[in-house]
Amino acid sequence: MKYQVQPGGALQGELRVPGDKSISHRAIMLGALANGVTRVQGFLEGEDALATLHAFRAMGVRIDGPDHGRVTVHGVGLHGLEAPAGPLDLGNAGTGMRLLAGLMAGQSFDTRLTGDASLCSRPMGRVVDPLTRMGARIGTAEGGRPPLVISGGQSLQGLHYAMPMASAQVKSCLLLAGLYARGRTSVTEPAPTRDHTERMLYGFGYKVERDGATAAVEGGGELTACDIDVPADISSAAFFLVAASIAPGSDILLRHVGVNPTRIGVLNILRLMGADITQENPREVGGEPVADLRVRSADLKGIDIPQDQVPLAIDEFPALFIAAACASGRTVLRGAAELRVKESDRIQAMAEGLATLGIANEVLEDGIIIDGGEMGGGAVRTFMDHRIAMAFAVAGLRASAPVTVLDCDHVATSFPGFHAAARGLGLAVEVVA
């Protein structure tokens, strides 16, 4: 499947993008391990979050739904999971695999975690190494890659881990393993990352100690079921934040977007570039801050992206690179080496696509330099990466000729119905088999 995008246009209207992927994953996991029934609304019915749901069903958890974003999870308690009949296939879900690695390390049974070709090419040493230090036994394929073969019945011991690289997935993995460990497990991060795991553990009644850059849990507690309202995913909203900013005459409202302070790097960066984005009706839902975001078109300018914002926008950079391509002047990103080990090497993939469309750029080891300018058309490869596909679909708003975005099947991992939502606001995108 590919997208065919006609050049030009402006965006008008309102939209609620699908539920937050990170929170959807965690709602299923913690709901399954809680005592009682957890009711979730706003659940993202994308392939990644569904893979996590299916994994817990395979371990004996009754889960009703999803039905229009509503899911009911009948928790089995921290020690109530059953051995699955076969491998747990996480598809393309890196979050699902890394967080499950922590949970599975504390079970009494053996587990094999696998995924699609893309996920099985992604390094897992960042979670395997500290889990091993806690006492886990995990086998990997060559280079520390999946499948992960996790031996059950191991006695985990809490540890303090200073992460060499900021990563919410690593932090969350170790905190979840800490639920099963003796003593205290603490993680110190070199820069702030999303804190959905800490917030949700607290919502399920599990104490999380937070002291500056360190989060810690004591093993041996229990989780109590609660209701969760999943905010709209700011990572999905990012494509429309950029689209409305770069397309002259645009004015849109994105409703009920999660604006957790650890996730709003995309807002901060776009505003530094001159974007016209305002927050309306701020409120808190289930411990997570949300707001409606009003976006009007603006003349963007290139900037040096502050490095303290990089971990707060790590998933939004494909969209931000399109903003940089449409800005006047030069945008410089450094300190973003993690982008090279996402669903694709997002630095290289975006650089190649931008060059195809006539945008000058220079790839750095840990970032990229983009010179904004006139954008042409052409056929762009996505490397089977959902965020690359959506970013280049948005680029068509400022292209001077049609843009063909190849291999868009994986968009459904995070944003089912993206093309319909985009068309509804005014993007001239067609799906071609």
Give 10-residue mean pLDDT values along the chain (433 residues). Answer: 96 96 96 98 95 98 96 98 98 95 98 96 94 98 96 98 94 98 97 93 96 97 96 97 98 97 96 98 90 98 96 95 98 94 92 98 97 97 96 97 96 92 97 92
Question: What's residue 398's pLDDT?
Answer: 97
What's the rounded Cα separation, in Å, for the pair 241 and 235? Answer: 10
Same domain flag for 218 and 237: no
- Cα distances from 104 to residues 58, 164, 304, in angstroms, run 13, 23, 41
Question: What's residue 402's pLDDT?
Answer: 98
Same domain flag for 365 and 394: yes
Same domain flag for 160 and 183: yes
Catalytic residue among 315, 345, 366, 371: 315
DSSP structure class, residue 21: H
Question: What's residue 293's pLDDT?
Answer: 98
Same domain flag for 35 and 12: no
DSSP structure class, residue 110: -
Bridge partners, residue 136, by sequence: none
Number of neighbours of residue 39 by Cβ within 10 angstroms: 17
What's the rounded Cα separation, in Å, for the pair 261 and 291? Answer: 12
The closest alpha carbon to 340, from 396, 383, 296, 376, belongs to 383
Question: What's residue 433's pLDDT?
Answer: 87
Picking from 195, 229, 263, the residue at the C-terminal end of a domain is: 229
Question: What is the residue range of 25's domain?
Answer: 21-229
Same domain flag for 62 and 139: yes
Angle between helices 317-326 and 346-356 (to 10 degrees): 30
Same domain flag for 290 and 408: yes
Same domain flag for 64 and 204: yes
Same domain flag for 89 and 121: yes
Assess contact for 61 and 89: CB atoms under 8 A.
Answer: no
Angle between helices 317-326 and 265-272 (to 10 degrees): 10
Question: What's residue 52's pLDDT?
Answer: 97
- Cα distances from 214 to residues 23, 127, 185, 198, 283, in angstroms, run 21, 17, 10, 11, 27
Two structure tokens written together for 423: 């068309």
- Based on the structure, what is the number of domains in the chain? 2
Catalytic status, residue 89: no
Same domain flag for 240 and 175: no
Distance from chain centroid for Cα 67? 22
Question: What's residue 298's pLDDT?
Answer: 98
Q: Kindly report the CATH number assigned to the domain that includes residue 218.
A: 3.65.10.10
List for the chain the helix, strand, coil content (%; round to 5): 35, 30, 35
Order of strands, sheet of 145-150, starting from the edge strand that comes earlier in the sequence: 88-89, 111-114, 145-150, 138-141
Q: What is 222-283 written as a DSSP string?
A: --B--EEEPPBPHHHHHHHHHHHHHSTT-EEEEEEEE--TTTTHHHHHHHHTT-EEEEEEEE
Same domain flag for 37 and 120: yes
Q: Which residue has the tokens 């309306």?
A: 280
Assess contact for 210 and 198: CB atoms under 8 A.
Answer: yes
Same domain flag for 285 and 364: yes
Question: What's residue 399's pLDDT?
Answer: 97
Picking from 229, 262, 282, the residue at the C-terminal end of a domain is: 229
Q: Which residue has the tokens 């599990």?
A: 206
Same domain flag for 138 and 207: yes
Question: What's residue 256's pLDDT?
Answer: 96
What's the rounded Cα separation, in Å, for the pair 369 and 118? Answer: 26
The closest alpha carbon to 330, from 275, 273, 371, belongs to 371
Picking from 229, 253, 274, the residue at the C-terminal end of a domain is: 229
Q: Which residue has the tokens 């690695």?
A: 101
Assess contact for 78 and 150: CB atoms under 8 A.
Answer: no
Q: Who's near 212: CB < 8 A, 6+ residues apart?
A: none
